């Protein structure tokens, strides 16, 4: 099947408020495959485009648990199982002494998994993306706000959708070539 030459239709707004309202309208209009771009995190925007569950916390929890367990078991195995030594008359398994490193390992693993989790779930790094083909999109990282309806959306129709978007009184509407 040949790919649609159009990746989506993008509308540009100049305030966060406008974007949020537009996003709400679009979503209510039944468009599901949409996305919004802003130069800073806009409260509630994600919800408006129908993004509800975020898995990052789960990833961090798992990472942290793995870290903690690894940390303690490592110390236990190394100093009590693999090569036990009499250190200053203390028993090989001196658990109070192992707490600090267990804690640090928990933090380390949790932190790393937080960052990697976020990147993975966001599908980053992704140096190229069709939206960059829109020249004005450069302002998405300054003071402009964008809303896009992807051509892969069921309800998508080049003409209809474009008209609908223009109805949201944006600054401009442009097609995003894929």
Partner 1 sequence: MNQDEFVQISKREEVCPGKKGKLDLDAVRAEIDKAAKHGPEYWRSLEELAGNPEFQDALKREFPKGASEWLDSVSRRGFLKVMGASLGLAGMTACVKLPNEPIVPYVRQPENVIPGRAMYYATAHTLGGYANPLLVESHLGRPTKIEGNDKHHGSLGGTDIFAQASILGMYDPDRSQSVVSMGDQRSYAAFLSAIRGPLSAQKALQGAGIRILTTTISSPTLADQLRALLKVYPQAKWHVYEPVNRDNVLEGAKMAFGQPVETRYDFAKADVIVSLDADFLYGGFPGNVRYIRDFASRRDPDLGQMNRLYVIESTPSATGAKADHRFPMRASEIERFAQALSSHLPINAPTGGVAGDNPGFSAAIVQDLLSHRGSSIVIAGDHQPASVHAFAHAVNQALGNVGKTVFYTDPVGANPVNQSESLKDLASDVQAGKVDLLIILGGNPAYDAPADVNFAEVLKGGKAQLRVHYGLYQDETAELCQWHVNATHELESWGDARAFDGTVSIIQPLIAPLYNAKSPIEFVSTLSGQPDASGYDLVRAYWQKQHTGADFEQFWRQSLHDGWIEGTTYQPKSVAAKNDHIGWKSTTDTAIELNIRRDPTIWDGQFSNNGWLQELPKPMSKLTWDNAVQIGPKMAERLHLASKDVVELELNGKKVEGAVWIQAGHPDNSITVTLGYGRRGAGRVGTGQGFNAYELRTSGTPWIASGVQIRKTGATYELASTQGMQSMDTPDGGHRPLVRETSLEEYKKEPGFAREEEVPQGLTLYPRYEYEKEQYAWGMAIDLNRCTGCNNCILACQSENNIAVVGKEQTLLGRHMHWLRVDAYYQGDRDNPKAFFQPVPCMHCENAPCEVVCPVGATSHSSEGLNDMVYNRCVGTRYCSNNCPYKVRRFNFLLFQDWDTAQYKMMRNPDVSVRSRGVMEKCSYCVQRINEHRIDAETASVREGKEIGIGEDLQSACQQSCPAEAIIFGNINDPNSKVSQWKAKARNYSLLGELNTRPRTTYLAEVRNPNPELES
Partner 2 sequence: MPEQYKSTTDLERAPVIEPGHTFGTVTEKISAIVLTRPASNGWFIGFGLFFMLTMMMLFAIGYLFLKGIGIWGVTIPIGWGFAIVNFVWWIGIGHAGTLISAILLLLRQSWRNSINRFAEAMTLFAVAAAGIFPAIHVGRPWLAYWLFPYPNTMRVWPQFRSPLMWDVFAVSTYATISALFWFTGLIPDFATLRDRSEKRWVKMVYGMLSFGWRGSARHWHRYETMYLLLAGLATPLVLSVHTVVSFDFAVGIVPGWHTTIFPPYFVAGAIYSGFAMVLMLAIPIRKIYGLEDFITERHLQNSAKVMLATGLIVAYGYGVEAFMGWYGGDRYDAFTLWNRLHGPYAPEYWALLICNILIPQVLWIRRLRTSPIALFFISGVILVGMWLERFIIVVVSLHRDFLTSSWGMYYPTRWDWMTYIGTIGMFLAAMFLFLRLLPAISIFEMRTLLPEAEVKE
Q: Answer with the entry of partner 1, partner 2, none that 54 interacts with (C-beta below 5 to 8 A by kind).
A: partner 2
Phi and psi for 130 in degrees, rounded to 5?
A: -50, -35
Q: How far is the CB of 151 from partner 2 (least distance, A)?
A: 17
The two three-digit tokens of residue 74, written as one number: 């490592």
Quick one: what does residue 89 bind among partner 1, partner 2, none, with the CB cut-off 5 to 8 Å set by partner type?
A: partner 1
Residues 6+ apart with CB under 8 A from 80: 92, 93
Supply the angle between the helices 95-122 and 56-76 in degrees, to the nearest 10: 150
Q: Decide if residue 65 touches partner 2 (CB under 8 A).
A: no
Q: Using CB under 8 A, pick the residue from 9, 10, 22, 36 that binds partner 2.
A: 36
**In the range 111-140, which residues lie near partner 2 by CB under 8 A?**
111-112, 114-115, 117-119, 121-122, 124-129, 131-132, 137-140
Alpha carbon 18 to its chain's center: 23
CA–CA distance, 16 with 23 (Å, rounded to integer)? 10
Question: Is there binding between residue 90 and partner 1 (CB under 8 A)?
Answer: yes
In terms of residues, how long is the chain? 178
Q: Which residues lie below 8 Å from residue 28, measured CB to CB, with a gap of 6+?
A: none
169 binds partner 2 (CB under 8 A): no
Angle at 124 between CA 143 and CA 152, to 5 degrees: 80
Binding site for partner 1 (CB under 8 A): 85-91, 94, 96
What is the binding site for partner 2 (CB under 8 A)?
15-17, 20, 23, 35-46, 48-49, 51, 54, 56-57, 60, 64, 74-75, 78-79, 82-83, 85, 87-88, 90, 94, 97-98, 100-101, 103-105, 107-108, 110-112, 114-115, 117-119, 121-122, 124-129, 131-132, 137-143
């Amino acid at each position: 099947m040949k790919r649609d030459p159009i990746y989506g239709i993008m509308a540009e707004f100049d305030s966060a408020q406008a974007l949020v309202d537009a996003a709400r309208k679009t979503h209510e209009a039944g468009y599901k495959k949409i996305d919004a771009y802003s130069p800073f995190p806009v409260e509630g925007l994600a919800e408006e485009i129908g993004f509800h569950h975020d898995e990052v916390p789960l990833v961090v929890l798992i990472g942290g648990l793995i870290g903690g367990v690894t940390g303690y078991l490592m110390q236990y195995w190394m100093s009590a199982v693999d090569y036990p030594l009499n250190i200053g008359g203390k028993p090989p398994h001196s658990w109070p002494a192992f707490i600090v490193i267990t804690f640090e390992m928990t933090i380390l693993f949790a932190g790393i998994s937080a960052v990697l989790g976020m990147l993975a779930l966001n599908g980053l790094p992704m140096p190229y993306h069709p939206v960059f083909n829109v020249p004005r999109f450069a302002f998405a990282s300054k003071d402009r706000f964008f809303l896009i309806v992807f051509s892969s959306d069921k309800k998508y129709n080049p003409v209809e959708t474009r008209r609908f978007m223009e109805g949201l009184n944006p600054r401009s509407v442009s097609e995003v070539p894929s």
